[in-house]
Structure 1
Amino acid sequence: RHKLKASPSQLRIMHVEGDSMAPTLVSGDAVLVDMTRRAPNPPGIFVLDDGMGLVAKRLEHIPNSDPPAVRVISDNKHYPEYERTADEIHIVGRIRWFAREI
Structure 2
Amino acid sequence: MDSIGARLREERERLGLTQTELGEKAGVTKNTQRLYESDQRSPKADYLVAVEHVGVDTRYVLMGTHEEGQGEKEPRDLPEPANEDLSPVAMYDIEAAAGDGRSLEREEVESTMYFPTEQLAAQGLDPAQVVGVKVRGDSMDGTLADGDWVLVDRSSRDPHPEGVFLLLVHGERRIKRVQRVAGGAWLLISDNPRYEKELIKPQDMKDVEILGRCEIRIGKVL
Is 1:86–2:205 an aligned residue pair? yes
> Which of 140, 144, 149 is residue 21 of structure 1 equivalent to?
140
Aligned positions of 1:1-102 closer than 5 A: 1-39=120-158, 41=160, 43-65=162-184, 69-84=185-200, 85-102=204-221
Report which of the two has the higher share of strand: 1
Runs of 5+ consecutive residues of structure 1 not aligned to the other structure: none
Equivalent residue number for residue 45 of structure 2: none
TM-score by length of 2: 0.41
Greater C-alpha Rg: 2
Deviation at 1:64, TM superposition (A): 3.5
Q: Cα RMSD between the aligned structures?
A: 1.7
Q: Which amino acid letter does the alignment assign opposite residue 87 of structure 1?
A: K
Fraction of identical pairs, as percent = 32
Give, in whole Å, the separation in 2 of the partners of 1:98 and 1:5: 15
- Structure 1 runs (4+) deviating above 3 angstroms are none
Q: CA deviation at 1:53?
A: 1.6
1:42-94 Cα distance to aligned partner (Å, 9 max, x none): 521101011142111000122442xxx31100001111001114322111111
Tell me the TM-score normalised to structure 1 length. Answer: 0.85
Q: Please state how far the C-alpha of 1:5 moved relative to its aligned partner.
A: 2.9
Structure 1 residues 74, 7: CA separation in 2 closer, same or farther (over 3 Å shift)? same
Separation of aligned partners in 2, 1:81 and 1:97: 23
